[in-house]
Structure 1
Amino acid sequence: MRHFDLTPLYRSSVGFDRLANVLDQVMAGDVSQASYPPYNIEKTGDNAYRITVAVAGFAENELSIETREGQLIVTGRKSETETEKKDNFLHRGIATRAFERRFQLADHVRAVEAATENGLLHIDLVREVPEALKPRKIEVTRKQETLQAEAAEA
């Protein structure tokens, strides 16, 4: 009785808000994603989002961003020379360990730009719904036969 079926909630998800997925992971005890590095997710427009990841201590060439199977994967790996220098520290409070952070993307959401600024990695996302999936308005008209019958009666 500890497992709840949250499948109906998946149908109503918008953007990359996967509340049901998060609840499933919590209920299952899946704590595979640690809290490092911290991140923010913000909505910057009607179909625009921004993920900001704290990557202090990482250079641009040590960061990797990839989209695969509906996920945005942000990876950070320090170079070999940096990890060899750790013997010289008396205290190391700034975490520069390797990380991999995954974000579940909704359908038609794609990353368009990534940039670092002041130790933060900004990833801009856009939701682009294809024309075939956008709602269309269909005009309601009278059938041609009805119009012809009315014209004949007149």
Structure 2
Amino acid sequence: MRTTFDLTPLYRSTVGFDRLFSMLDQVGGFDGAQGSSYPPYNIERTGENAYRITLAVAGFAADDLSIEAKENTLTVRGDKQAPKAEDEKRGEVLYQGIAARAFERVFQLADFVEVRGASLENGLLHIDLVREIPEKMKPRQIAINGVGGAAGPKVLDTKAA
């Protein structure tokens, strides 16, 4: 049983949260993906601020795949090219269990997460990501200049949001 939430009233009364509501819709599975789980994938943390997405794309060549990063969204598309004439001479396929259908897999990335590279090996597409927070967003020490009887500057620790 699927429960749906109507976020329309929130759209009317908020400004700048449309991306957040879209992400909530996608997490809930309301984006029309129809429960597609192809191709299967793993997401792993490889370091403190490093991540790797691995997709099982057996049968796809590098030319059949495209990766696009845009506005905190990573999109991986696969579209198998039509077989060449020399491939057709090999024989007739009696059973095809290896899926070669076109796919599109979308991942929502957190702020400051960037794609560092991708590689295809042994039927697995590896996409390496890293989160780099800009210096102006990192915590920093602020000196407070004392007036009066203070015995030197005091330091206030502030946290970036």
Structure 1-normalised TM-score? 0.72
Q: Which amino acid aligns with 2:98?
A: I
73-82 or 104-113, which deviates more: 73-82
Matched, 1:49 2:51: yes
Of residues 115, 118, 126, the one that matches 1:114 is 118
Stretches of structure 2 that go unaligned for 5 or more consecutive residues are 11-22, 151-161
31-40 or 43-52, which deviates more: 31-40
Tell me which of the two structures has the higher relative contact order, counting C-alpha pairs closer than 8 angstroms and 6 or more residues apart.
1
Write the distance in 2 (CA, Å) between the matches of 1:32 and 1:137.
49
Write the distance in 2 (CA, Å) between the matches of 1:62 and 1:96.
10
**Secondary structure of 1:88's partner?**
coil
C-alpha displacement at 1:39, in angstroms?
0.2
User: How high is the sequence identity, in percent, across the aligned residues?
Assistant: 50
Write the distance in 2 (CA, Å) between the matches of 1:92 and 1:37.
16
Match of 1:70 in 2: 72
**Structure with more of its chain in helix, by fraction:** 1
Runs of 4+ residues deviating >3 angstroms: 20-23, 28-33
Structure 2-normalised TM-score? 0.69
C-alpha displacement at 1:48, in angstroms?
0.6
Write the distance in 1 (CA, Å) between the matches of 2:6 and 2:143.
43
Change beyond 3 A, Cα 1:21–1:124: farther
Match of 1:126 in 2: 130
* Contact 1:109-1:128 at 8 Å conserved across structures: yes
Match of 2:92 in 1: 88
Change beyond 3 A, Cα 1:114–1:106: same
Change beyond 3 A, Cα 1:98–1:61: same
| Cα root mean square deviation, aligned | 2.9
Write the distance in 2 (CA, Å) between the matches of 1:21 and 1:123.
25
Write the distance in 1 (CA, Å) between the matches of 2:104 and 2:35.
9
C-alpha displacement at 1:3, in angstroms?
2.3
C-alpha displacement at 1:70, in angstroms?
1.6
Write the distance in 2 (CA, Å) between the matches of 1:118 and 1:124.
17
